[in-house]
């Protein structure tokens, strides 16, 4: 499986494009502002079939262009706890506009989720088996997508290289985040490469040893 990252939008949010080894299918993880313009032409040029869009959580900067990937044929997968944020993004417009006044109506389009995932949900995408872990704390519907055969996991804003997700946003919870990291991220094999929602990649072992916020 080939993994490509693009850091996009006002918060430099990572979108990931994962392509199958046979070069036929692909999936996208998260849909920040600019992701559709960047990735959809690439997917088309390469003749890839886009099958899924996985959402790590419902915050605007990770899902605002999900509608464009759904329109391009992707099944949208997310956690039900973030249903309002994802399927009724218009209701949160004022809150986001207060932070980013330069946004326009076009930046607020809801998307219908095809399948709700929960802790332990499994699925096959880009030719590989994935396992879902529910990692709330930064956001109630935060998910981690683990692909054991590739020793990689996509962890959204739960943990970053040398840091962890904020818990001061609405419905954030510090104790819940620490529990998620300790019981559902630090229990992955040490060599697992973590691809976060912002910044560069790291490994489970590196964070267990050095992360100043989340000790094992």
Cβ-based nearer residue to Zn ion, 20 or 154: 154
Q: Bridge-partner residues for 14, per DSSP?
A: 7
Cβ-based nearer residue to Zn ion, 52 or 59: 59
Residue ranges in 5-65 assigned as alpha helix (H): 35-45, 60-63
Give the residue closest to Zn ion by C-beta. 59
Cβ-based nearer residue to Zn ion, 61 or 207: 61
Cα–Cα distance, 8 to 33 (Å, whole number): 6
Tell me whether strands 159-160 and 152-156 are parallel, antiparallel or unpaired. Answer: unpaired
**Smallest gap, in angstroms, from Cβ of residue 177 to Zn ion?**
11
Q: Is 79 in the site for Zn ion (CB under 5 A)?
A: no
Give the up-direction half-sphere exposure of residue 121: CA atoms within 13 A in the CB hemisphere: 18
Query: Smallest Cα–Cα separation from 156: which of 57, 59, 61?
Result: 57
Q: Is 197 in the site for Zn ion (CB under 5 A)?
A: yes
**Smallest gap, in angstroms, from Cβ of residue 8 to Zn ion?**
11
Out of 28, 54, 59, 81, name the contact with Zn ion by CB under 5 A.
Answer: 59
**Smallest gap, in angstroms, from Cβ of residue 212 to Zn ion?**
20
Cβ-based nearer residue to Zn ion, 48 or 53: 53
Secondary structure (DSSP) of 137-183: TSSTT-EEEEEGGGTEEEEETSEETTEE----STT--HHHHHHHIII
Q: Is 52 in the site for Zn ion (CB under 5 A)?
A: no
At 10, is the secondary structure helix, strand, or coil?
A: coil
Out of 51, 157, 172, 186, name the contact with Zn ion by CB under 5 A.
Answer: 157
Cβ-based nearer residue to Zn ion, 12 or 191: 12
**Smallest gap, in angstroms, from Cβ of residue 68 to Zn ion?**
18
Chain contacts with Zn ion (rule: CB under 5 A)? 59, 61, 157, 197
């Amino acid at each position: 499986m080939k993994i490509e990252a693009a850091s996009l939008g006002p918060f430099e949010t990572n979108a990931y494009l994962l392509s199958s080894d046979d070069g036929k299918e692909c999936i996208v993880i998260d849909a920040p502002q600019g992701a559709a313009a960047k990735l959809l032409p690439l997917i088309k040029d390469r003749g890839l079939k886009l099958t899924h869009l996985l959402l790590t959580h419902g915050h605007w900067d990770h899902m605002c262009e999900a509608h464009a990937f759904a329109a391009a044929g992707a099944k949208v997968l997310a956690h039900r706890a973030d249903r309002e944020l994802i399927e009724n993004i218009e209701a949160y417009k004022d809150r986001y506009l207060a932070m980013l006044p330069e946004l326009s109506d076009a930046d607020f389009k809801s998307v219908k989720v095809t399948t709700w995932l929960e802790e332990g949900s499994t699925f096959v995408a880009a030719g590989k088996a994935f396992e879902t872990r529910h990692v709330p704390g930064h956001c109630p519907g935060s998910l981690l997508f683990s692909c054991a055969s590739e020793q990689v996991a996509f962890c959204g804003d739960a943990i970053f290289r040398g840091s962890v997700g904020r818990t001061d946003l609405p419905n954030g919870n510090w104790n819940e985040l620490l529990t998620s990291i300790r019981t559902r991220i630090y229990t992955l094999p040490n060599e697992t490469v973590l691809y976060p929602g912002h910044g560069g990649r790291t490994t489970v072992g590196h964070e267990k040893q050095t992360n100043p916020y989340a000790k094992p």
